[in-house]
A and B are shown apart, each in its own frame.
Chain A
């Protein structure tokens, strides 16, 4: 049944590892499968951030739009990775575009619903924040290295 499949996927995912069973069920309650065709925009800069995605297949390009130019790809997110954490922190709005580079198969989690639950249950909130902080930490490290422009000829 689809619910069990989702539960297994979420429970097995390293991001949600060691989460209390009750929390996992809670997450499953907020989750569903989703597909995107290649080229479609999954989320857009400025829009309200109400969900996040567990990418199961495909690659997503994170883009930013400079004026008078085509969008620049600043990062890519692929299978096994989490897309989006702006749902968790105010002002709850996306800061970048995310475009499906290839066709995407993902699990979407209802961020708005989860946010409400985190406000009620701070332990759940703490567990999720710990995990998202890790992702942000790694992305920050990676971004810093990208900024160093290590391959440039000086």
Chain B
């Protein structure tokens, strides 16, 4: 953990952290329980956090269970990701009115947004945000909506000390240790009986300023070691892994692999995976008018490559079969993303595995294609 400022915080300091951020004018988004899942929403106090809760995840399964301790962040990730706020599911692009054959765009002024603080950003999510930054900010064009929401976000990362069964960030090289890129504060939670404390690091100047205002103690060597070991334990706990060596070429070269037929028999094209995936960014545009036809609005909504009309051109869709659509998603996520944006599109968060109603496991699919190719057989 190098030369980053490290400090030891008592659990009560988390409440003070929330106050400090609120006083600085941040709207705080963090994990909270709703409808039997841990989702992201505006929070105000410690009481809003899922204290003493943990999640049990498997392919096609998610349950919340009580813990036997009062950990605030004792779970992995839920169905939502930070793109809910940075790349919202529904946003109005503009309003316009028409008169005499001419139109005028209304509401031209960008409304200043209240800056957000994200509390509880996992290592995989930090990487995911960085990936969406590259897609939406670093290309030939910049998405002004993402830019406005991304600007000035205060990120409080939390390093996982336990993994869900569907996590595979370790093999993707995205966690559980938070690499620090983009985080203002990094917290690691340790609970042992009555001893409930956090190791806090501040990779940014903003983070250091906030940390300075909290009541902290210096971190002993033992403390630092305990925190590091806890994060390492989360990595060791992971049973799923993605072999990433040469995966792009593997997928490019296996366009006609029989495994695609195998997964097509199961995939419902429900698009859950694309909605829960923290890096999926596809959207569609909808034009709506009022009844007299004088006022129009253009809206942008999340879309999914699993929908039948996603590839629609005049004459029909290009990818009509479910097989082609699943293949498109997986090849893009693990393969072509690398050519497009310089990194994998997958961060190993496991959400697509958990939230697939039929339990399709992207790590298993990749292994099936790789394994069958390696062993020269055509059956998985």
Determine chain B's interface SS by DSSP, over half rule. loop
Q: For the complex, what is the distance from the CA of A106 to the CA of B314, rounded to whole Å?
A: 45
- List CB contacts (< 8 Å) of A133-154 with chain B: 153-154
Give the docked Cα–Cα distance between A7 and B316 (Å): 54
Nearest residue, chain B, Cβ from A154: B315
Mark out the residues of chain A between 108 and 154 whose CB falls within 8 Å of any chain B CB in the assembled complex. Answer: 153-154
- CB-CB contacts below 8 Å: B308-348 with A: 314-316
Inter-chain CA distance A91–B140, complex, in Å, is 66
Q: Within 8 Å CB of A153, what residues of B?
A: 314
Q: What's the nearest-Cβ distance from chain A to residue B315, in Å? A: 4
- Give a binary string over B43-70; 1 marks a CB under 8 Å from any A CB, 0 the rest: 0000000000000000000000000000
CB-nearest residue of chain B to A150: B315
Q: Please, how many angstroms separate the alpha-carbon atoms of A153 and B314 in the complex?
A: 8
- The CA of A154 and the CA of B315, in the complex, are separated in Å by 5
Q: A154: which B residues are within 8 A, CB to CB?
A: 314-316
CB distance from B224 to the nearest CB of A (A): 66
Q: Specify the chain B residue showing the minimal Cβ separation from A152.
A: B315
Shortest CB distance A130–B (Å): 35
Residues 270-324 of B at the A interface (beta carbon under 8 Å): 314-316
**In the docked arrangement, what's the CA distance between A5 and B314, Å?**
54
Distance between Cα atoms of A154 and B312 in the complex (Å): 12
* B315 nearest CB neighbor, chain A only: A154
What are the residues of chain A within 8 A of B316 when measuring CB–CB? 154
Residue-wise, chain B 171-214 has the 8 Å CB interface mask toward A (1 for contact) of: 00000000000000000000000000000000000000000000
Q: Which A residues are in CB contact (< 8 Å) with B315? A: 154
The chain B residue with its CB closest to the CB of A153 is B314
Bound-complex Cα distance A154 to B317 (A): 12
Contact partners of B314 in chain A: CB under 8 A? 153-154
**A154–B314 CA distance with the chains assembled, in angstroms:** 7
Nearest CB in chain A to that of B314: its residue: A154
Once the chains are docked, how many angstroms separate the CA of A154 from the CA of B316?
8
CA distance A153 to B315 in the complex (A): 7
CB distance from A147 to the nearest CB of B (A): 16
A154 to chain B, nearest CB (A): 4
What is the CB-to-nearest-CB distance from B317 to chain A, in angstroms, rounded to a whole number?
A: 12
Complex Cα distance, B316 from A153, in Å, reads 11
A148 to chain B, nearest CB (A): 11
- A54 and B315 CA atoms in complex are apart in Å by 41
A153 to B313, CA, bound (A): 11
For the complex formed, measure the closest distance between the CB of B314 and the CB atoms of chain A, giving whole angstroms: 6
Give Cα A85 to B315, complex, Å.
Answer: 37
> In whole Å, how far is B32's beta carbon from the nearest beta carbon of chain A?
50
Shortest B316–chain A CB gap in Å is 7
Task: Tell me the A residues contacting B by CB distance below 8 Å.
Answer: 153-154
4 A-B contact pairs sorted by A residue (CB < 8 Å): A153-B314, A154-B314, A154-B315, A154-B316
Chain B interface residues toward A at CB < 8 A: 314-316
